[in-house]
Structure 1
Amino acid sequence: MNGYAQNKDDVLKRLRRVEGQVRGIERMVESDKYCIDVLTQVSAATKALESVALSLLADHVSHCVAEAAAEGGPVAVQKIREANEAIARLVRS
């Protein structure tokens, strides 16, 4: 079971909201809105998507990584490595 299983509905709701924001940005560009206004909305959508990513990461660490760490062994090492790599991707973006 995925770490976000208990929050799946919330994650989906937040992703749909981001999708709506992106469609709104597309309409702004189609309507030739002012560059700064478009950039402001891009920033808002980016932050919303980052918030979803952080929520998924927190769920992964508290569920998948914690479970694997309790078991120990190579699976724990793999899950910790995956979490570290995911954090690095988020920090770089």
Structure 2
Amino acid sequence: MDRTPADIKPVLNRLRRAQGQLNAVIAAVENGGKCRDVVIQLAAVSSALDKAGFQIIATAMEKCLNDPDDTSDPMTVAELEKLFMTLA
């Protein structure tokens, strides 16, 4: 990913949050946590990962639209759309 620190920071924050939530899910499963609590935490992990993915794709789309001549990370609109749809 060829992004600015301002682009990367929110994505990293989401991924770190998801990592913490996933660690909590693992610990809950290992320690016999309640099913409801495990599933709720797992849903939170999934949501955080989805949001990070959408944020990465949105940044790529914005870069593509604002600087179509930039060839540092060449992606077509069709490729971006396909990536977006994998998260939907």
TM-score band, normalised by shorter chain: 0.7 to 0.9
CA RMSD of aligned residues (A): 1.8
- Cα distance in 2 for partners of 1:84, 1:9 equals 23
- Residue 26 of structure 1 aligns with which residue? 26
TM-score (norm 2): 0.81
TM-score (norm 1): 0.77
Question: Larger Cα Rg: Structure 1 or Structure 2?
Answer: 1
Which structure shows the higher helix fraction? 1
SS state at 2:76 partner? helix
Instruction: State the identity as a percent.
Output: 26
- Residue 8 of structure 1 aligns with which residue? 8
Runs of 4+ in structure 1 deviating by more than 6 angstroms, as ranges, are none
**How many pairs were matched up?**
82
Q: Which runs of 5+ in 1 are unaligned?
A: none
Residue 13 of structure 1, CA deviation: 2.0
Q: Which runs of 5+ in 2 are unaligned?
A: none
Summarize the alignment of residues 28-67 of structure 1 with structure 2, pairs less than 5 Å apart. 28-63=28-63, 65-66=64-65, 67=67
